[in-house]
Amino acid sequence: MTVRLIAAAASETGGYRASNQDAAFVAPWGVAVADGVGGGPSGDLASAAIVHRLVADGLRIAGPEDLGERIREANWDLRAHVRRDPELAGMATTFTGMFVTVAGGLLMAHSGDSRAYRLRHGQLARQTRDDSYVQALVDSGLLDQTAAASHPRRNLITASLTGGEADAVAVFEPDALPGDRWLLCSDGISDYLDDEELGLLLLRHRDQGEAAAALVAEALANGSRDNLTAIVCDVRDGAADGSVGATFFGSARARFQEDLEVSAS
């Protein structure tokens, strides 16, 4: 199977945040969303730095180990920022991304509570597990999934990218086929739209950009109090064009690449 991605995104600060700490990119060879961790310093810098570093080499991912190494190198950039400015200590970001390999397959990487969903034959299914306190309660049987959606500590995450050597990222091959539609989003979307609403909006809007904008608009209408980012991505047959550059959204658009490139030494 050789695939390419047709994707678009929408990102908004929302009415309750001073800045957009979400970052995202789309390209025929990859898509990703990162959400600066709330309560920490410079979440917008953390999310933007990770996204920019990961797309710097374009379509050159050979396999899971290679993607894991690319993420580790991007994570080192956060540590370099903190070494340069100790006031940034504690900055962190979630990350969820899907990438085409040089062989034409797909890989996914995930840390935190930004999510990936797959729509296949009209059925929506979440493809990532939240690294969160509430998800741990659900997994242990102490909380049901319905109650988890409104739990007061639902945004307390247990994994993220901080620049630390012990940061954990899951890298895996997703169950993806040509014809699938994928949604990658920050919790400003998933906390305010249930699976039925997500699925209906993805089905209603065939155009990827219109679907992404509709998801953001509907989450805002439902009272989202966070930054909101949605990526809608369709998997298609055919080789991805690795020469096409990435389009950035959120803090990754606000912060230019040349401002983010620092030495990790």
pLDDT of residue 263: 38
Task: Identify the DSSP state of 88.
Answer: G
pLDDT of residue 75: 95
Of 41, 30, 49, the closest CA to residue 256 belongs to: 49
Mean pLDDT lowest for which of 10-24, 139-153, 198-212? Answer: 139-153
What the chain holds in terms of domains, given with CATH numbers, is 3-254 (3.60.40.10)
pLDDT of residue 147: 62
Distance CA 98, CA 115 (A): 11
pLDDT digits over 244-265, tens only? Answer: 999 999 999 988 655 655 434 3
Mean pLDDT of the chain: 90
Average pLDDT, integer, range 229-250: 95
Percent of the chain with pLDDT over 90: 75
pLDDT at 169 over 90: yes
Average pLDDT, integer, range 116-122: 97
Task: Kindly give, in sequence order, each residue whose CB lies less than 8 Å from that of residue 179, ignoring residues fewer than 6 positions away.
Answer: 120, 235
64-84 and 43-55 helices, crossing angle to 10°: 140
Listed in order, strand segments (DSSP E) in 141-210 are 170-172, 181-185
| C-beta separation of 121 from 139 below 8 A | no
pLDDT of residue 57: 75
Average pLDDT, integer, range 58-73: 92
Of 116, 35, 46, 25, the closest CA to residue 88 belongs to: 46
Q: What is the pTM of this model?
A: 0.92
User: Please, what's the largest Cα pairwise distance for the chain?
Assistant: 50
Burial of 119 (0-12, 13-18, 19+ CB in 10 A): buried
Whole-angstrom CA distances from 51 to 128, 135, 148, 173, 186 are 19, 25, 29, 20, 14
Whole-angstrom CA distances from 36 to 127, 194, 251 are 21, 22, 9
